[in-house]
Amino acid sequence: MQHFAAVSCPNPRLVQETTLLSIIIISRNQIETIDRCLTSVQVATKAAGLDRYEVVFVDSKSTDGTPERVRERLGKDVTIVHLSGHTNAAIARNAGTAVAKGDAFFFIDGDMEIGPDFLKVALGPDGLPHHNVTSGQLPEKFYSPTGKFLTDGPDRYKVRDDGPGPGRCPGADGYRVELGGISLIRREAFEKVGGFMTEMRVNEDQELGLRLCKAGYGIYGYATVMATHHTVDYFQWHRLGRMLLDGSMCYPGVVFRRHWMNRHYWPLLISHQRPTAVFALSLLLAIFVSPWWLLLFIGYIVAKNIRRPGVSFLQDLAGTAARSSGFLIGVPFFYPHHIDNKDIHYTVAEYPNPVWKDGQARPPAPEGTESTEKPAA
C-alpha cells in the first residue's frame, strides 16, 4: 500500500504572521453569482479567524462587468488578473498561482459559495492547511439557462482511496481520489507536479488530482461542506450542444489514456464510467446479436432518470449517450493541442483598476498604479 505524504494535524510550530493563504477565484461572465462567492470568502475567513490571506481574481475576458464588480466589492484588497489570448480554467488557475504570494492556494470558481466552516476545519493555527491537498463535500444546485432553480445535485467528490488510514484528523471523511475545481493545495505540492495541464479544457482538476496522488500527495476529504456549486445543469440542451461542439466530452478519454496505469484512477473509472460500460455493451450486442439489446441502455437511463428530477428522459438519454461516445472516441483519437507558456499572457491590474474594452488598445495605467503584460511563468 502506498502511503501518502501528509502534513501533521495540527502544526503548532508556525504562526500565522509568517504564512499566507492565497484565495484564487477564476471567472468568466458570472455577474449573477460573484457577489455570493465574494461574501462567502469574507464569511469563511472570518469564521476561521484568518488574518493573513490574499484574494487573486482571474478573469477570462468577461463582457458583463464581473471584474468591475469584484473591484467595487473588494477595492484594493484584491489582485485582478486579466487573461488575454488562450483561456480555460487550467490556464486561469496557473496564472493565478504565478501572481499569488501565498504558501498555499485555495482554488474556487466564481459560481461557488465557500462553506462557512470549511476553512475553520481545514486550516491549522498557522493559517495553512493540515494536509498537502484538501477537499470536502461539494453539493450542487442545478439551474436552467434562464436561471430557474431545477434541483439539488449530489456531492460530487466521494470516491474513496485507501490512503494511510490511521491518524486522520477528527471529523474527516478520509482520503479520496478525485480533485474538483475547488481545492486547497500547498504550494510545494502544486509546483512539484507542475500545476494544471493547460491543454485540458475540462477535467483538468481530475487530471491534476491523479498526478498529485501518484506523486504521494493524498487528497484528504473532510466531511464538511467545502462549497456549494450553483451551475446550469450539465444535461441542459444548450450545454450539451456546446460540449459537443468544443470537444469537451472527449477529455475523460484523455484522462484514461494518461492514467490507466495509475492505481488511483481505477476507483474513479468504476464510479464515473458505469454508463459508458452499459452503453458500449448495449451497442456491441445490438450490432452483433440483435438491435433489441439497445433496450438495455434505455432501461438503464430510465432507472437513472427517476433519481434525477429536472431533466427529461430525452435529455438524459442524449446526454449519457454523447458523454459515453465522447469517452470512447477520446481514448484512441482525441489529442488536445498543447498550449505553450509563451502563448499564455495576462495583465495584472493594481488598484485602482484601469478599464478598457476587449480588443482595443489598453490605456496607460493611472499615476500610482501598475499594469503589466506578462507571459505565464
Full-model pTM: 0.83
- Residue 364 has, within 13 A of its CA and on its CB side, a CA count of 3
296, 274 in Cβ contact below 8 A? no
Helix (H, G, I), strand (E, B) or coil at 112: strand
Q: What are the strands, taking DSSP E only, across 11-132?
A: 21-27, 53-59, 79-85, 104-109, 112-114
Checking if the pLDDT of 165 tops 60, the result is no
Gap between the Cα atoms of 254 and 60, Å rounded: 24
DSSP label at residue 236 = S
Checking if the pLDDT of 144 tops 90, the result is no
Give residue 134's pLDDT band: very low, low, confident or very high (50, 70, 90).
Answer: very high
Checking if the pLDDT of 307 tops 80, the result is no
pLDDT average, residue stretch 295-312: 79
In this prediction, what percent of the chain has a pLDDT beyond 70?
A: 81
Which pLDDT score is estimated for 174?
79
Gap between the Cα atoms of 41 and 125, Å rounded: 18
pLDDT average, residue stretch 166-178: 55
In 3D, which of 73, 120, 91, 118 has the Cα closest to residue 24? Answer: 91
99, 185 in Cβ contact below 8 A? no
Burial 331-344 (b: 16+ CB within 10 A, else e): beebeeeebeeeeb
179 grid coordinates: 480533485
pLDDT average, residue stretch 255-261: 95
* Torsional sign, CA 238, 154, 55, 100: negative
Q: Which residue has the higher pLDDT, 298 or 361?
A: 298
Span(s) in the chain for CATH 3.90.550.10: 16-233
Gap between the Cα atoms of 362 and 366, Å rounded: 12
Which pLDDT score is estimated for 372?
43
CATH architecture of 16-233: Alpha-Beta Complex (3.90)
What is the pLDDT of the chain when averaged over all its residues? 82
Least confident stretch, 138-142, 178-182, 373-377: 373-377
- What confidence tens digit (pLDDT) does each residue in 344-356 have? 889 998 666 443 3
- What confidence tens digit (pLDDT) does each residue in 31-80 have? 999 999 999 999 999 999 998 899 999 999 999 999 999 999 999 899 99
Helix (H, G, I), strand (E, B) or coil at 343: helix
Give the strands of the sheet with 149-153, arranged side by side.
Answer: 112-114, 227-232, 140-143, 149-153
pLDDT average, residue stretch 202-218: 93
Phi-psi region of 343 (alpha: psi -120 to 50; beta: other; left: phi over 0): alpha
Which pLDDT score is estimated for 151?
77
